Amino acid sequence: MKMKTTLLLCFIILYNCGNPEKKSKIDDDDINLVRVSMDTHADSLLLDTKINSVSIGIYRNGKKYTAHYGELDKGQKNKPTDSTIYEIASVSKTFTGVLVAQAVLDRKLNLEDDIRKYLKHDFKNLEYNKTPITIKNLLTHTSEMRKFLPESINDLFTDFNEELPFKVYEIQKKYSKNDFFSDINKIKLDTVPGIRYRYSNVDTEIMAQVLENIYQESFNTILTNYFKTNVGMQNTYINLPNNKKQFLANGYGMTGRLVPHEVVLYGADGGVKTTMLDLVNYLGFQLDKNIPTVVESHRVLYHNKNREMAYYIPIKNHKNHGTYYKMHGGAFGSQNWLFILPKYHLGISVITNQSDLKTAEKLMKTVNGLIRDLK
C-alpha cells in the first residue's frame, strides 16, 4: 500500500510538472476565487450608508492581492488605491512588538529587565511592594498603566460622542513628552505588575522611549528603516514626509463628519501610517516562520484562562483555525482588522476610513466571510 501511494504521488507531481496549462488554470482559479471573494464582501460592506470606502489586502499561499472600493470622500469619486495611506491605529502596536523582538534577539534588552534600566528617570513609583514593571509587562499590557495619558482623556472616553475626536485632539496637540513623563511620575500602582491584563497605550509609548534609548535614534527612524529594509514596506511611517501627505486618507466619524488625524508623541501605540500594499507585505512577513524575529514576536509571554499575549499581539486558538493572531485598530477616522492565520497560509487586512462604535463589528463580518471563502 505504501509503495502504491508513493507511486501515485510521483505520478501526480510529474503530471502537473508536465502540464503547465493545468497548473496555470489552477493558479487562475485561485486568483479568481480571491478576487470574487473580495468583491463580494466589499460590495456587501458598502451597502452600509456610513461606509464610503474599503480596502482589502490578502496574502494567500505566497501570493499578494489588494483591492479598493468606493470613494474616500463621499461624492468625490476618489477611489482608494495602492498609494492611499491609512492610519492603522492600534495595529501599530504589532509593529512595535516586532521591533522589541528584534532587540531581544540582538541582546539589546531582556524581557525580565526592570524598565527603569532603560529610562533616564528614577521613577521610584513604577513598582509595587518592590516588584518593578518589566519589559515583558509592557509588551503584554500587564504593567498596570492607565489606558491614556493625560488622565483627562480617560475621563472623556466615558462619553463616546461626535465631539470626542475634537476634544481629544485639542488636548493631544498641547501635550509634550515632558508632560508625558511628568504624568508617569505621578502614577501609583495598586497591585503587582504582571498579574492583571489592562490594555494600555501608555505602556507602548514607554516602550518606544526604551527603544530610542537603546538605538539612539527616533522611534520613527527605527520603525521606518526596519520595515523598509526587512519587509519591503516602502511607504510606512509615523511622521509622513511632506511628499506623502497628499496620499493620507481623510477620516470620518460616527456622524459622517470629517475628523482630525491623531496627534502622536512616539506613535508606537497607534501612530503608524501605511498603504495596503505595504500591509500585504507585512502579512507575508508575519506568516514566515523562517524569520527568527517573527517566531520570537509570536512567543507566548502571558496567558490566563481567557487570554494569551505575545509581543503586543493577541494569540487566539480555534478548533478549526488552529493558532492564529488578530489585531484591531480603531482611530477616530479609520478602523481596521489584521488577521494572521498560519494554518491556511493566509493573512487578511481590511480597512475603512470611517469609525464609530459599530465599525469594528462590520469589518469583522467582512473578515469572517473572507476566511470562509479562502481557508
pLDDT at residue number 204? 98
Which residues share a beta bridge with 57?
Answer: 66, 349
Euclidean distance between CA atoms 259 and 169, whole angstroms? 9
What pLDDT band is residue 263 in, cutting at 50, 70 and 90? very high
**119, three cell numbers:** 529610562
The answer to whether residue 2 is domain-embedded is no
The per-residue DSSP string of 212-273 comes to HHHHTS-HHHHHHHHHHHHH--TT-BSS--GGGGGGBPPEE-TTS-EEPPPP-SS-TTT--E
pLDDT at residue number 318? 93
Based on its alpha-carbon atoms, the radius of gyration of the chain, rounded to whole angstroms, reads 22
Q: Phi, psi (5° rounding) for residue 324?
A: -145, 175
Query: Can you tell me the mean pLDDT for 264-271?
Result: 97
The answer to whether residue 241 is domain-embedded is yes
Model confidence pLDDT, tens digit, residues 93-144: 999 999 999 999 999 999 999 999 999 888 999 999 999 999 999 999 999 9
Model confidence pLDDT, tens digit, residues 28-85: 888 899 999 999 999 999 999 999 999 999 999 999 999 999 999 999 999 999 999 9
pLDDT at residue number 25? 63
Which residue's entry shows cell 460590495?
43
Model confidence pLDDT, tens digit, residues 165-195: 999 999 999 999 999 999 999 999 999 999 9
Quote the number of domains for the chain.
1
The answer to whether residue 103 is domain-embedded is yes
Model confidence pLDDT, tens digit, residues 234-260: 999 999 999 999 999 999 999 999 999
Contact 137, 197 (CB under 8 A): no
**350, three cell numbers:** 481590511
Q: For residue 238, what is the domain's CATH number?
A: 3.40.710.10
The answer to whether residue 187 is domain-embedded is yes
The answer to whether residue 15 is domain-embedded is no
Which residue's entry shows cell 494567500?
60
**310, three cell numbers:** 505575545
Q: What is the dihedral of CA 364, 369, 372, 375, to 10 degrees?
A: -70
Structural domain containing residue 221: 29-54+72-374
The answer to whether residue 223 is domain-embedded is yes
Tell me: pLDDT of 11 over 60.
Answer: no
Query: 345 Cβ partners below 8 Å, 6+ apart?
Result: 60, 61, 62, 287
pLDDT at residue number 28? 81
Contact 313, 345 (CB under 8 A): no
What pLDDT band is residue 305 in, cutting at 50, 70 and 90? confident
Contact 337, 349 (CB under 8 A): yes
Tell me: pLDDT of 16 over 70.
Answer: no
Neighbours of 125 (CB within 10 A): 13
**180, three cell numbers:** 508625558
pLDDT at residue number 19? 63
Query: Cis (ω within 30 of 0) for the bond into 150?
Result: yes
The answer to whether residue 7 is domain-embedded is no
What pLDDT band is residue 325 in, cutting at 50, 70 and 90? very high
Angle at Cα 38 formed by Cα 37 and Cα 43, nearest 5°?
100
The answer to whether residue 330 is domain-embedded is yes
